[in-house]
Amino acid sequence: MATPHIAALIRHSVSQVAADNLIPPMLLNHILVGVLLLPLGFLTFYAAPYSDRWAQVIVRTTALTVAALPLTLLWLMGVRYFDAPLFVVGFLLVVAASVTLLLAAFTRPRTIGSAETARS
């Protein structure tokens, strides 16, 4: 959704020659990330309700991969972009998604049956 808007922003912000050099790799990056994240999200969503070993491996691998994103951003980009409020919002959303996925992947859900058994 944002990809065409980013391309327009680049065209209006830099010279035509610079835009011709910047837009193709940006489009490649956004399209590839989108194409790769959609099946990964679907696979994780599909595997999440199952308690089989294969499902746990998929969900936990996805959670660890997403958890590496904030550290990877800091390592590759440094802190120079943290002056931009939207970058900070995006970074915090990635951190929140990472924590949520880690909690969901590595904690055991409380079930009604086990709670009643514990009370008896």
What pLDDT, in 10s, does the model give residues 42-88?
Answer: 888 899 888 889 999 999 999 998 899 889 888 888 888 888 888 88
Measured CA to CA in angstroms, residue 45 lies from 10, 27, 111 at distances of: 35, 27, 20
User: Structure pTM?
Assistant: 0.64
| Over residues 99-107, mean pLDDT | 90
**Does residue 114 surpass a pLDDT of 60?**
no
**Does residue 119 surpass a pLDDT of 70?**
no
Computed over every residue of the chain, the mean pLDDT equals: 83
